[in-house]
Amino acid sequence: MKLVACNGNRPLAEAIAAYLNIELTDASVRRFSDMEVFVEIHQNVRGEDCFVIQPTSYPANDNLMELLVTLDALRRSSARRITAVIPYFGYARQDRKTSPRTPITAKLVANVIAVAGANRVVTLDLHSGQIQGFFDIPLDNLFCAPVFSKDIMERYPGERPMIISPDVGGVVRARGLASRIEADLAIIDKRRERAGVSAVMNIIGDVKGRSCILVDDIVDSAGTLCNAAVALKEAGATAVSAYVSHGVLSGGAVARVTSSPLDSLVITDSIQATEAMRLAKNVRQLTIAPLIAQAIERISDERSVSSLFD
């Protein structure tokens, strides 16, 4: 097995390698003076089972191009099998036509990854399940639920917090986590006026006197989460926290979270934390390195990955 790390999230790649007790493959992922991506693999990978670790988070286009060029380098180096490990799959929110003459960019990215040389893909908490069908190669979609449920049970001993879905589309994800910790479920009805702006309308369920935990896959502008926290507090919730798989947190999102009623925002390290995230008083990060490492090990050994979530 060979692990190759691009520049998107080097600390996560190093943590995965440490868990597997192997060293990262010696490789250079650098730029020419005009910012062209150049990749060179310095070790022999002929006949090897190779895993490329690279989230396609900000800067999305640079990180995606690094991934594609690395896949091509490994394919031309006669690697036996190449798996693209993409902890955060960028462009996932463009998974359907939202209006006339718009692209389905998630499908385009899936095609390009396969053409570049990937034989299979491992990712984490895809924005929508149908993206799995965009790939013509095997895809393993891992879930953060085991990591989140363990942390929630440690943080809320002897208590039954209420799991909240911030919109109707996230009900399946929220219900899955609620069933793991035997918690009640409520839903927030949200009406989005335009992209990046959301308005909370009403809450389906009684949250009065309850500790509430919002569950989502992506937090970007944090408008939805902060509006949801305000609505829950107004409905009588005693405390509001959020568990989100991917902390995109662009623009002034961190400041928005810091000044919101959220007691804590818990994200994973699928995206490398910025300095603002590290300094925020109510933002906390959980590692998914052991989860991804176990999945990589099972794929390499041709064992079941789905049994990780039983």
Same domain, 155 and 34: no
Give tens-digit pLDDT for 32-43.
999 999 999 999
Question: What pLDDT is stored for residue 310 in this prediction?
Answer: 76
Give tens-digit pLDDT for 194-205.
665 556 568 999
Total number of domains constituting the chain:
2
Residue at token pair 């006949």: 47
Same domain, 45 and 138: yes
Active site residue 2: no
> With 0-12 CB in 10 A as exposed, 13-18 as middle and 19+ as buried, what is 204?
middle
Same domain, 125 and 242: no
Same domain, 72 and 112: yes
Indicate which CATH number applies to the domain containing 59: 3.40.50.2020
Nearest to 269 by CA among 123, 86, 87: 87
Same domain, 202 and 299: no
pTM of the model: 0.93
Dihedral angle sign, alpha carbons of residues 258, 260, 264, 265: negative
User: b vs e for 36-74, b when ≥16 Cβ sit within 10 Å of the residue's Cβ?
Assistant: ebebebeeebeebbbbbbbbbbbebebbbbbbbbbbbbb
CA distance 17 to 55: 16
Question: What pLDDT is stored for residue 141 in this prediction?
Answer: 96
Residues 6+ apart with CB under 8 A from 36: none
Question: What pLDDT is stored for residue 132 in this prediction?
Answer: 95
Give tens-digit pLDDT for 214-237.
999 999 999 889 989 999 999 999
User: Catalytic pick from 2, 107, 150, 190?
Assistant: 190
Question: What pLDDT is stored for residue 168 in this prediction?
Answer: 83
Same domain, 11 and 130: yes
Same domain, 138 and 229: no
Question: What pLDDT is stored for residue 192 in this prediction?
Answer: 59
Same domain, 200 and 186: yes
List the domain range (segments joined by +) for residue 281: 145-287
Same domain, 103 and 8: yes
Please, what's the largest Cα pairwise distance for the chain? 61
Tokens of 28: 């250079």
Give the chain's residues under pLDDT 50: none
3-state helix, strand and coil shares in percent for the chain, rounded to the nearest 5: 35, 25, 40
